[in-house]
Amino acid sequence: MKKIYPKLPLIFTVIIFGFLLYFLTQDKNPSNPPSALLNKQMPKFESNDLIDENYQISGEKFYGKKIIINFFASWCSPCKVEHPLLIEIANNHSDVLMIGVNHKDKKDDAMNFLESGNPYDQIALDKDGKIAMEFGVYGLPETFIINEKGIIVFAYVGPITNKIYEKKIKRLLSN
Amino acid sequence: MLYTGQILILIAILNNFLNVFLFFFLKKNSNFIKQIFITSSRLNALLILLAFLFLIFLYVSSDFRNLNVFFNSHSDKPLIYKISGVWGNHEGSLLLWILIMSVYNFVFSLNKSLDENLKNMTIFFQTIMTTSFILFMLLTSNPFIINFSNPNEGLGLNPVLQDPALAIHPPLLYIGYVGFSLVLSLAVSGMLTNKINTAWIKTTKQYSIFCWAMLTLGITVGSYWAYYELGWGGWWFWDPVENVSLMPWLTGLALIHSLQIINNNSYIKNWVIFLSILCFSLSLLGTFIVRSGVLMSVHAFASDSHRGMFILIIFFLITGFSFLVFLIKPDNTQRNPQSLVFNKYSTLIINNIVMTVACFTILLGTIYPIILESINNQRITVGAPYFNSTVIPIVLPGLLLMAIAPALSWKKNRINDFKYYLYIFFALLIICIVIYFLSNYNPWGIIGIAVGLWVLFPSIIQLIKIIVKKDIAKNKIPGLTSHIGMGILILGVTISSVWQKETINNLKIGEEILLENYSIKLKNVKEEVKNNYIRMMGNFKIFENNVEIGEIYSEKRYYPVSQTVTTEAGIMHKFDKDIYIVIGENISDNEWLIKIYFNPFVSFIWLGALITVLGGIISLRKI
């Protein structure tokens, strides 16, 4: 009994280390809570196109196609960071539709933002943030992948990185 | 030229390898080797200092060819924030961490009172730890990486960090946090050399009190910053990062108290060693939590699982090794168990238990989400309600003892002037009960005030007695001062959190609003372009009983470079309350959303904390 006390600190250290190590290797990202919409039907939305304002974008039109929905805004700096990668993804997967949702932004600013390159096939306007609300957007940028049946198969908060593209997105887009 | 920093760091690493290598040849009694050993440990501090100054130089000269400067600075920034930007990011703050670690080693190498073997071994461990952090920095978070694109402008510092309090908050915190590394080195070397004697106690006391005082100051500055910058009217949010700074603070508190009673009791010796190791281990664990991004926090540093892995391994090696030594080399020179009577020993032991339990409660709450998610993949957050309802009742007995402990005698089962304490205690008790039954006040508020006064008055009376009588017990002055500070702090915490008043109103320009006997008038709202931000500033006139007593300026700032908005709450500090105004959204042309808080006695919190720190500082002179 006497001998157990000096051992306790070491035992606790090992236990805490074990948990933290396990947690780290799980590659979990606390800023990226699992979306409640994952594996559920994509919410319906309708909006005008940013570039051609007469063109009506509607979520239902995309059924049967694989799409990426990316929420962005010109005022969001992480969006700038992920922008080049989005362009690369758009080039690599020309068969996938990439829909941008321009969130609470001004048209001129958004157009300036896209001057360096436009990865999106269509851009929905979300001036009042309603679409973002429907999708349960947590913070900008946020990206969803939706399969042919209109089911959300992937959701990611924050700028997409090469690692995430290679590990998850690439597979989802190719098959 | 650009590679200077890198080269300095590399030389420092080589130098440290030499230092570690030389340690094994010290026994040969060659004075020459000893000289080189000591010199190389000092040289490390010099090299790191130069590297740090070089990084500051890059920031000040806005040299965006350095990637770290490019990411975290902007040429528009005022000079002070260019400098503080150095430690406003992961890489730079790591260099600061290493610098502080090295400077502690340098200062320690000047020590003359310790046994030579003990001293050398401490330097040896300190160098190993410093070097492992240098390697960590070099391999995962190098601040000296060159940016080959040579841009004209940087990306800017997070605007929330552009603040004088935040410029000094991390260095102070690190001086506390990191300093515990030396205490750990001392503890491990003390065990291995079997030299836990009076000189060891004295040195450990000096360092741990200094670190603890700096940590207190750092936490205080941080919470003051949170108070006026975040605009939530509060000053402590039980954020994981706040918690991880509180844990070493609590164990540090236990450590400096148990160092008072160590003498030759081997139980307490072992306990002190345990705490010495624990303080830095918790600092490391905190660093891991902050920098690996395993928990969400307003402090979200660059999160990267590789970095996390590296720190986790450093944590495990240092803590694991230290506790291993603790396991195989416990001090068992003398068994001298004290009978548990009501004397100073027993109160200090209770204090230790209370602090340690509080610390582990916070630790549990902080890492519980991680443990739970590892086990069943469920995500929860543990927030303020858990901490408030566990930590406060746990520390309560400790606070009650705080008033009596300094007055207790060491051996005898008797308090000097016991009856006075009894009178005060019962008087307070009766007052509390009466107030509780006669009013609908919050019971926690009453308990808090009672405890605050209970700590405050006896401490003041004892202090006055010592000063008036020119008592021999002058060594009690620092402790009493700190206790007075804590008493004031408890009062401030209780009153400001229980009796805070919050109102949200829409105000038009020229309109006024009546709150208690104050009326607050929105005079105007101006938009101004400043150096690196645009501000919207509301100017409020404050009237007390219809007499104007001053103006408050409350701001929202927009930083175009990073496109973020920050709040600068407008605060009028009065003796008994802070009037705290946050200007919100523009509702219509000249109508604004205004949040007004009355925070009673909130300045007591910072005053109390500063007095506590003062107590720590003056005790350094007496050791």
- Mean pLDDT highest for which of A27-36, B305-314, B516-525? B516-525
Q: Which residue of B has its CA nearest to A24?
A: B305
User: Per residue in B355-366, pLDDT tens?
Assistant: 999 999 999 988
Average pLDDT over every residue of B317-341: 74
Q: What is the ipTM of this complex?
A: 0.79
Q: Is A15 on the interface with B (CB under 8 A)?
A: no
pLDDT at A1: 39
Average pLDDT over every residue of B293-308: 60
- Token pair of B233, please? 């009217």
User: Per residue in B381-413, pLDDT tens?
Assistant: 787 888 888 888 888 888 888 877 777 766 555
Confidence class for position A127, pLDDT limits 50, 70, 90: confident
Q: Is B274 on the interface with A (CB under 8 A)?
A: yes
Q: With contact defined as beta carbons under 8 Å apart, do B243 and B362 qualify?
A: yes
Query: In chain A, which residues have their Cβ closer than 8 Å to the Cβ of B270?
Result: 6
Element (H, E) at B546: none
Average pLDDT over every residue of B489-495: 91
User: Per residue in B199-229, pLDDT tens?
Assistant: 999 999 999 999 999 999 999 998 888 888 7
Q: Is B294 on the interface with A (CB under 8 A)?
A: yes
Q: Which of B165-179, B244-258, B350-364, B424-438 is predicted with the least confidence, judged by mean pLDDT?
A: B424-438
Q: Which residue of B has its CA nearest to A22?
A: B374
Chain A 76-105, residues with CB within 8 Å of chain B CB atoms: 76-77
How distant, in Å, are the alpha carbons of B340, B363, B439, B487, B493 from that of B432? 31, 33, 11, 17, 18
User: Per residue in B549-571, pLDDT tens?
Assistant: 989 999 888 877 766 778 888 88
Task: Give the minimum alpha-carbon distance from B572 to chain A in angstroms, rounded to a whole number.
Answer: 34
pLDDT at B298: 47
Q: Is B296 on the interface with A (CB under 8 A)?
A: yes
- Out of B296, B327, B373, closest to residue A23 by CB: B373
DSSP label at A122? E
- Token pair of B79, please? 């000079």
Q: Bigger pLDDT: B74 or A27?
A: B74
d(CA A42, CA B92): 43
Instruction: Tell me the angle at which helices B164-193 and B90-109 cross, rounded to the nearest 10 degrees.
Output: 50
The alpha carbons of chain B give a radius of gyration, in whole angstroms, of 26
Q: Is B318 on the interface with A (CB under 8 A)?
A: no
Average pLDDT over every residue of B75-99: 89
Q: Which residue of A has its CA nearest to B560?
A: A75
The domain ranges of chain B are 1-162, 163-416, 501-603
User: Per residue in A76-125, pLDDT tens?
Assistant: 777 887 888 889 888 888 888 898 998 888 888 888 888 888 888 888 88
The domain ranges of chain A are 34-174
d(CA B248, CA B251): 5
User: Per residue in B137-180, pLDDT tens?
Assistant: 999 889 998 887 777 777 776 676 778 887 899 899 999 999 99
pLDDT at B304: 62
User: What is the architecture of the domain spanning A34-174?
Assistant: 3-Layer(aba) Sandwich (3.40)
Put simply, the answer to whether A30 touches B296 (Cβ < 8 Å) is yes
DSSP bridge pairs for B527: B536
d(CA A127, CA B93): 39
Average pLDDT over every residue of B262-270: 76
Q: Percent of chain B scored above 90 by pLDDT?
A: 36
Q: With contact defined as beta carbons under 8 Å apart, do B139 and B313 qualify?
A: no
Contacts of B54 (CB under 8 A, 6+ apart): B4, B5, B8
* Angle B242-B248-B250 from CA coordinates, rounded to 5°: 90
Q: Percent of chain A scored above 70 by pLDDT?
A: 91
- Token pair of A57, please? 């974008």
Q: Is B49 exposed, middle or buried (0-12, 13-18, 19+ CB in 10 A)?
A: middle
Q: Which of A74-78, B24-28, B346-350, B589-593 is predicted with the least confidence, judged by mean pLDDT?
A: A74-78
Put simply, the answer to whether B327 touches A7 (Cβ < 8 Å) is yes
pLDDT at B17: 95
